[in-house]
Structures are given as structure tokens and as C-alpha cells.
Structure 1
């Protein structure tokens, strides 16, 4: 049992995250724990997400995007109302991913190699993502600066690829909350490169080959961070940028916050630095006013259930969702709950499958016996916290790393998302959903997580950072 002590002081904490469901949900989970300890939390959020945090009891301050050329107030291009990016940034970003061609059967090495070759030819379309983050940060930075000046926070928590220049300029201590697989922020040469999904004991020549292409990508993040500092006249030092050896995530001298279960974390391979504040999962806990209920008659008592989610980004690949649900419906005896994602209204589910665009994941996980997921960090860690086995169909980013770690630790199975045969999925479902020894291991892990109260312990460490650097 963890030795949790009450806070010495009530803190004022500001949160700011980039526009992505995974980023925002991780911050919600962290903020819930801090509020339970009596601290005040203010979310600085894109105006398009207005109300998404107040429903959990959080105070919000909305950040407005500047009008684009040719747009009137309250109107999008051509005067036909707000643009989709303004109204639903998650859906707009998901569509951008679909349009970009990111969702394909290429390996991480093939993708990064192709990207490097295109850049060598002057094609920088892959930089659209970081460019869009730069543009939104240009809009938001003055508003964040004003919030810092008015609220005078004790601490700022950031989950973003770019640092708003007003943050280091303010002198307020801040922590970098990372809502992905921690390989990315450890920066250890004794771990496979981030996003490769390579086994931890794989040939290091593969690691070097990947990095020879990947390092050039870090230059883009460094370039736009530099451009951001110059735009606002902030004189940056080396520690205000990602690491030079291809790093894409900000450095933070105060520390990092991340969520990853001890059973999956990498302490068996590297020492975890003291400034890294870890917990088993950010796992959201606040229950909505109306508890989740399955449709009447969908599942009978004692029936085994599957939960299938490719996340808000991955679920835009409607053909993949259709294929997986078709196999589950026609070739397994189990019923499946499906998180359909932002394009939910564009397709129907087959028999013995039910779902909606967005579902309260943490309320569904206790009801099911198996989870099929894209491997997003929140889904992986939340599922693990509830003691459920996982089949992972990674699509991009750290999803490959999560899929591999679950597989090599014996808590799940990784399939090749666009190459698996129908029977491979069926076999994986039957193997995991009926593995009693695995069920016992996962239940033991879930009990350990509940007893350790790692999120509360992390709060104590966060409070210590604020105390150490208090003005």
C-alpha cells in the first residue's frame, strides 16, 4: 500500500494540450487526481473543445484561433459557416491523417525511409502536421501568456510538441506531460528507437538504420520551435529545444510526467531517471451523470464480450473497421462493442456488433473480456489497469512500440494491421479470451495497480517540483 501524504500547499495549476483526444484524455486523468488533492486546475483549450472539460468539473479558458484570410467572424471559407477545423478539430485532424496516406501497410522503416527520400527531393508535405501546430501556437501564445500573468500559477503542465514561448519566458516551473510510450522521452540508446516497434533484444543494426533516416525528421520540429521563438522575440537556449540527435519532443529541465504500468515499463532494461514522474496510467475516473448501459438485449449474462477501438484517428479507416467487425461477426461466437469514431455516420456495423461514434471507454472496459485496439497509449494502459488481454493492430507512432511491449511481456498479441489473415485474428481472439493463466496474471496486475495508487504518488512528486522551484 502506497504511503500517500496530504499536500503541503494548495496549488494553482494550468494545463494545455494539443488538439488530440489522447492528449486531452491523459490531461483529464492527471487533473482529476490533482483536484482530488485540493488543487485548482485551469484548462487552456481550443475554443472548439469548449465544454469538454467543464462537464468533468474543470474550469476552462478557451483559446481562439485567428481568422483566416477570407473568413468573416463566425463564418468559414466562402461565408458558409465555421470551418470543420474550427468546429470539430478531432474530426478534421483524423481526416487529414486519412488524406495523408499514413494509414497503410508499410513498416515504420519503409515509411521513414520514404519520407527522407521525399524531403531530399524538396517534398515537405509531411511537415504539414508540425506546421499546423506552429500556426495554432502562434495564435494561442499571447492568450496563454495573458492567462499566466493573470492567474500567476504555481505550476504549468504541457502536453504538446511545441513549447509556447511565453512559458519559459514566464519563469513558471512546468512539467512535460507525455501521453505516449515513454521510450520517446527516455532517449536511451539501450532501447529501440521510438515508433519502430522493434523488439528490445533485436539487432541494433536495425536501430541504427532507422535512426539514419529518422534523425532528419527532428530537424523540422527544431526548425518550427526556433521559428516560434523568433516570432515572439524569445532568446532561447539549447535546453529550450528538442535534443539535437533527432529528438522531436521538448526538453524540460523541471521534469516529465508519463503513464505506463510497471509490468510494461522499461526498468528491466534501463534505470528510470529521477526527474521522470511515472504512474501506471492516466486513467480517467470521473463518472458521467448518466452511467453507461449496453442496449437492452445486446448481451446476455455470462456471455464473453469484445471491445474494438482504433481510436479517434485510426477509426477513420472505415474499410479496416468493416473488415475486423465482419470477421468478428461471422467467424467468432462473441459479440463486439465498437467505438466507431468520427465517421460513425458513414457506415453500419454487421450483426452481433453494436457501437457509437464515441463511447465511455473506462466504463466499458470492466464489462468486456478482450480488447482489440490500435495500441494508443491511453487505451493500452487503461485496458491493462482493468486487467484485460489485448490484441493490437498498430497504425502509426508509438502504437508499434506498445504492441511489441505487450507481446514480448506476454500480456497480448500483435498482428500486422493490413496483412493479417482472417484466421490469424480468429486464432488470437480464441487464444487470449480463453487463457485462464493470462487472466490471472492480468487480474493480479490490476490489483497491484489499485493498491499502489501510483497517480496519487505522482501527485506528491508533482507538488514537490512546484515547491522546489517556488518563487
Structure 2
């Protein structure tokens, strides 16, 4: 039995993808444990895994930390309506600045945590290098839980760009703008790398591929065609990483019994945009459907919903999505891959980060529909919901994707590759 440490980014998408892989590792007899920032404490314990807290920010109380992130998101809500190109100078810039700070702070404490955990293998799901991981002396694996374009290629859109697959002029424009805006932040990160015995990265790069193994969660149905194929010895594609979660019983609705069921979630960050969610709730209230709507921690800001809508602070998505007919979401990679895994059509209304890439990809491959998160009419939304429920060609594509993903079972594939790496055997 080996100890496998998972170190996901402090966000629910990477966190819960790693839970799925950790569950499969334990099924093979290994011990999985989690290294986490303090604001995600309890997330992994809920699934029965040990947690080890690493300091990744200046010390704050729980209330102060919650207020910090609420202020951060509320301050950026006006930027959610901007294009991916426009967001580089606002949300994306501020995020990268904060991400570099987390790496700097983690370097102060991560060696202590690794010495306490004593892992035989470390799996890190983040967009930035933590030098302590490389220096620990054990194999480390990079997990890419967002769009596969985190590993760049000349023929695929740049990460975070939301570009169409063939839009080469768009690729060039986005990359030039990104590098110009992020340049000072990247220079600060390179100084940090030099201070910790690492070679600086080329402009725009904040992480590297692992020499041991890299796990990409993007499924075959939406995968890009690369000019330079990835070495299967070092790069393992999964068909998603859907975790086992607690059962969910669909509640009785006061109206529209037996009508199609829609699930709506903008994730933990997007739930802060209550005006858009309230518009969605009102629009769905006028349709011949039922709807489960995840409003996160902001549930007290809502009045009684229409009788065909049920609100919740949180839903166990892998147990909910199989029971619904369609999904409306923000394009986070968990919900994106779960919809494909269960063969459910989706409207993606992206607001930031890789949601733009996932929305574009689901639309151009015919597995769902991309819509602007705020610039829509109730009629347009109703038209697209109807299309999700009636488009037979889309349903056939989703059924094919679902069958392939469920047959492959990504977490088990990842666990087998990790087991082979630990044992020095062929995968």
C-alpha cells in the first residue's frame, strides 16, 4: 500500500475530480490523502479522506477569508459580461496575480506538510508550479482537470481564449494580448522560480508537464486535433473523472408534475451573480418544465421561487444529473464532463476562465449550446431549452459519448496508471 497525496487547486472542480481518482486509488488498496488550502478544509473529509492544511495566503480568520473572496467575486461581476479577450485585463490578470501569491506562500509551508504526509506519489491539479513538489524527491503527476489546452499546441485555441478551433487569427491576437498584460506578473513568478532553484519559464507559461505522468480529463468526444500528438507514455487522457456521491431524491414539485427536469448551476463562484440567476429562475418558471437551481450560499437573497422551481445551496451533481433531462451551467469542467458522462444536453453560459473554452467546444462539436450569460431573452432561452429536449442528432451524439465514457471509467484508468507508476510496471 502506497500513500498518494492529492494537491488540488482550492476550487471545487479540481477538488472533486481528484476525489474521484482518489476513490479509485483506494479501491486498488492504496492510501489517498489530501493537501489543501484552509478554505477547502472539510471538503475531502466529507468523502472520508485525511486532510493536511498548507498555508497559501496571509493568515485570516474563516469569516475574513469568506469576505475576501466574496468581495473579489462581487467586484468582478461586471467583468463577467466581457469577452475572454477583454477579461484578460481584468479578471484574468487579477487571478494570475493571486495565483502567483499562492505559490509563493505555499513554498514557505509545503515542505513541512510533505514531511508530515510522507507521500510515495504526489498528484497536483493546478495551473502553477509549486517548486517544493519537484524538490521532494518522489514522483509527481500533473492533473489537468480543466480544458486540455492547458497543454498548448499550435493548432488548438489558447487556454482561456474561448476561440473557435480554426480561428488562427484569434489565437494570435489573444496570445499577444495575454502576454502583454500578464508580463509583469510572469516576471515576478520567474524571480520566485530562480530564488527556489528552478529555471525561468517562457513568457505566458506558469507550469510544466510532469516527466512522470500527466492526466488530462478531456473526453474523446470533445478532444482537439493536435498538430503535435501527446506521448501516450507520459500523457493519459481520461473520459472524465466522475466521483461517487451521496444519493439524491428528486423532490415533489408544486407544479408541472411529470414535465422535463432541468438542473441549473453556475458553480460556487458564479452563484454570486444573483441577478442573472433570478432572471433564469423567472424564465424557467414560465416554461413547461421543472427546475432544480443551485444558488449556493446566497439562498437567503431569494424570495419564494415559482412552483415549478426548487432552490438549493448545494446538490450532489453526480447523483442529480443522471435524473434530469437537460442542464444549464457555467462551463466548469466538472459539470461539463458530468453532462457528457451521463449523456445530458446542456446550455453553457460561461462567465470566466475555462468556461469560455468549454462552451465553445460543446457548441462546435454539437453536444450542447453556447449562450451569453446575460444577453438573452426569455424567448431565446425557451427556444434553446426546447432544442435540448428535442434535438435527436444531439441526443445520439451524447449517447455515444456517454457510452464511451462510462465504459472507460476515467477514475479507474487514472488509478491504474498511478499504480503502474508506483510499481514501475507498464501501464
1:5-404 alignment runs, 5 A limit: 10-64=1-55, 68=59, 82-86=61-65, 88=66, 92-101=68-77, 103-112=79-88, 114=89, 127-185=93-151, 187-202=152-167, 204-220=168-184, 222-229=186-193, 233-238=195-200, 241=201, 244-267=202-225, 271-274=229-232, 275-285=234-244, 287-288=245-246, 291-297=247-253, 302-330=258-286, 332-348=287-303, 350-351=305-306, 352-404=308-360
Residue by residue, what CA displacement relative to the aligned partner does 1:219-249 show, whole Å, maximum 9, x if unpaired? 355334334446xx521124xx4xx142244
Report if aligned partners of 2:350, 2:373 keep a CA contact under 8 Å in 1.
yes
Distance 2:396 2:148 in 1: 26
Distance 1:254 1:348, change over 3 A: farther
Residue by residue, what CA displacement relative to the aligned partner does 1:369-389 show, whole Å, maximum 9, x if unpaired? 000111111100011101100
Displacement of 1:58 in angstroms is 0.9
Distance 1:310 1:430, change over 3 A: same
Report if aligned partners of 1:404, 1:414 keep a CA contact under 8 Å in 2.
yes
Report if aligned partners of 2:155, 2:225 keep a CA contact under 8 Å in 1.
no
Distance 1:66 1:317, change over 3 A: closer
Distance 1:148 1:308, change over 3 A: same
**Matched residue SS, 1:345:** helix
Report if aligned partners of 1:217, 1:246 keep a CA contact under 8 Å in 2.
no
**Matched residue SS, 1:263:** helix
Q: Mind listing any 5+ residue stretches in structure 1 that lack a counterpart? A: 1-9, 69-75, 77-81, 116-124
When normalised by structure 1's length, the TM-score is: 0.82
Distance 1:131 1:405, change over 3 A: closer
Pairwise CA RMSD: 2.6
Distance 1:196 1:102, change over 3 A: farther
Report if aligned partners of 1:337, 1:355 keep a CA contact under 8 Å in 2.
yes
Report if aligned partners of 1:161, 1:250 keep a CA contact under 8 Å in 2.
no
Residue by residue, what CA displacement relative to the aligned partner does 1:19-51 show, whole Å, maximum 9, x if unpaired? 212121121122112111111111112233332
Displacement of 1:131 in angstroms is 4.0
Structure 1 stretch 98-107 or stretch 255-264: which is displaced more? 98-107
Distance 1:98 1:328 in 2: 25
**Matched residue SS, 2:124:** strand
Distance 1:361 1:278, change over 3 A: same
Distance 2:188 2:422 in 1: 29
Distance 1:179 1:54, change over 3 A: same
Distance 2:57 2:149 in 1: 35
Displacement of 1:422 in angstroms is 2.3
Displacement of 1:434 in angstroms is 1.9
Q: Mind listing any 5+ residue stretches in structure 2 that lack a counterpart? A: none
Distance 2:77 2:252 in 1: 39
Displacement of 1:361 in angstroms is 1.0
Q: Which residue is 1:122 aligned to?
A: none
Greater radius of gyration (CA)? 1
**Matched residue SS, 1:208:** helix
Distance 2:57 2:153 in 1: 39
Residue of structure 2 aligned with 1:429, choices 385, 401, 425: 385
Displacement of 1:194 in angstroms is 1.8
Structure 1 stretch 34-43 or stretch 215-224: which is displaced more? 215-224
Displacement of 1:54 in angstroms is 1.7
Report if aligned partners of 1:50, 1:60 keep a CA contact under 8 Å in 2.
yes
Distance 2:255 2:16 in 1: 28
Distance 1:370 1:299, change over 3 A: farther
**Matched residue SS, 2:7:** strand
**Matched residue SS, 1:342:** helix
Report if aligned partners of 2:162, 2:356 keep a CA contact under 8 Å in 1.
yes
Report if aligned partners of 2:143, 2:216 keep a CA contact under 8 Å in 1.
yes
1:433-444 alignment runs, 5 A limit: 433-444=389-400
Distance 1:209 1:132, change over 3 A: closer
Displacement of 1:60 in angstroms is 1.4
